[in-house]
Amino acid sequence: MARHATRQSVSVLFTSVGRRVELMRAFREAYETLGLDGKIVGVDIDPLAPALQVVDHPYIVPRLNSPEFIPTLVEICRQEKITLVFPLIDPDIPILAANRTILEETGARVVVISSNAVALTADKWLTNQFFERLGLPTPRSWLPAQCDPDEIDYPVFIKPRRGSAAKSTFRVSDPEELRFFSRYVPDPIIQEYLSGPEITNDVICDLEGEVLSVVSRQRIEVRWGEVAKGVTIYNPDIIDACVQIARALPAVGPITVQCMMKDDVPHFTEINARLGGGLPLGIAAGVDSPKWLLAKAAGIAVDIPPLGSYQRDLYLTRFDESFFLTKDDRAQMASRCL
């Protein structure tokens, strides 16, 4: 990545890069725009993860539950002189938060919320209670022991308290289904079913927690838990609530806040403390969060417009793009370990 060397060097590491090719390219463009020196490092467990093809330095790492995962990440941070570490999937967040001290001894800054905030956001029951304490609308919610399947109104929605990527989530139509899914779904939470639309809000904070922007995007189509089609919208009540949530958490770096509409009122459901999968839509709408985050880390002054200053009614529609690897290419990528 050719860049001017006149600025402070900022190198970024992303964990579990997976399919996040657009995001890697957005950060690459931000480096170029700022004239900033540094590199993009991506790690994953899968040598066929597409985003490994577009980072500067890819690495294959042990699985998250391996005792070697954190030592490997520490060594990569030291070797690559990493400035910022960003998680890209929910399971990485508590591990990075719990090992913040050892990772930051390398000179890197781990861009994740505190362990206490992680415990709150990782548990959808605790998240629901957090929203209630803030006085924000949220779906009526129960744990299985708190509700009689014959007494509640249907449909309802059931999902794991600690799930991610929309896995094991189901619309439930009657008591018989609820009894079945309460056994089938691991450690579930039951919630009032809201037909939507669903709004995802990319809340970008700096490393001190100052809210830089909120971009709201309506999900039109979701594939594999990630938005495939969407459109930017603007709702001042949602913007205000997201700022309130970020400050109360408190947020560090980017988070996403989910809500569902009911009778034109947003009902808040989840917080994902990471860069959202649909972030490229917000970037295209004028919120250049990769540029702002890199500039803040480098001490470069940039103009950040007022909250809500982004293009509305901008649509995103995604398609698949392929990389082709030979047997030797795959073997070479698989060997990209420390």
DSSP assignment of 2-68 equals ---SSS----EEEES-TT-HHHHHHHHHHHHHHT----EEEEES-TT-GGGGTSSEEEE---TTSTT
Give me the DSSP letters along 124-165: HHHHHHHHHHTT-----EE-GGG--TTTS-S-EEEEETT--T
- Residue 247 neighbours by CB under 8 Å, 6+ apart: 209, 211
5 — pLDDT class (breaks 50, 70, 90)? very low
CATH class of 118-122+196-317: alpha beta
Is the CB of residue 13 less than 8 Å from the CB of residue 85?
yes
Amino acid letter for position 331: A
CA–CA distances in Å: residue 129 to residues 134, 138, 158: 9, 9, 17
Query: So where are the chain's domains?
Result: 12-112+322-334, 118-122+196-317, 140-192
Q: Is the per-residue pLDDT at 292 higher than 80? A: yes
Give me the DSSP letters along 78-112: HHHT-SEEEE-STTHHHHHHHTHHHHHTTT-EE--
| Model confidence pLDDT, tens digit, residues 155-201 | 999 999 997 767 889 999 999 999 999 999 999 999 999 988 999 99
Element (H, E) at 76: helix 69-80
Look at the chain and count its residues: 338
| Model confidence pLDDT, tens digit, residues 75-107 | 999 999 999 999 999 999 999 999 999 999 999
Mean per-residue pLDDT, 270-291:
96
| Model confidence pLDDT, tens digit, residues 51-73 | 999 999 999 999 999 999 999 99
User: What secondary structure letter does DSSP report for 170?
Assistant: E
Q: Is the per-residue pLDDT at 31 higher than 60? A: yes
Share of the chain above pLDDT 90, in %: 92
CATH architecture of the domain formed by 140-192? 2-Layer Sandwich (3.30)
How many other CB atoms are found less than 10 A from the CB of residue 225? 13
Q: Which residues of 156-185 are buried (b: 16+ CB within 10 A; e: fewer)?
A: bbbbbbbbeeeeeebebeeeebbeebbeeb
Q: Is the per-residue pLDDT at 303 higher than 90? A: yes
- CA 56 vs. chain centroid, Å, equals 22
Q: Is the per-residue pLDDT at 4 higher than 60? A: no
CA diameter of the chain: 68
pLDDT at residue 165, rounded to an integer: 67
CATH class of 12-112+322-334: alpha beta
Whether the full predicted model's pTM is greater than 0.85, yes or no, is yes
- Residue 84 neighbours by CB under 8 Å, 6+ apart: 10, 11, 12, 13, 108, 109, 111, 293, 297
Mean per-residue pLDDT, 266-280:
96
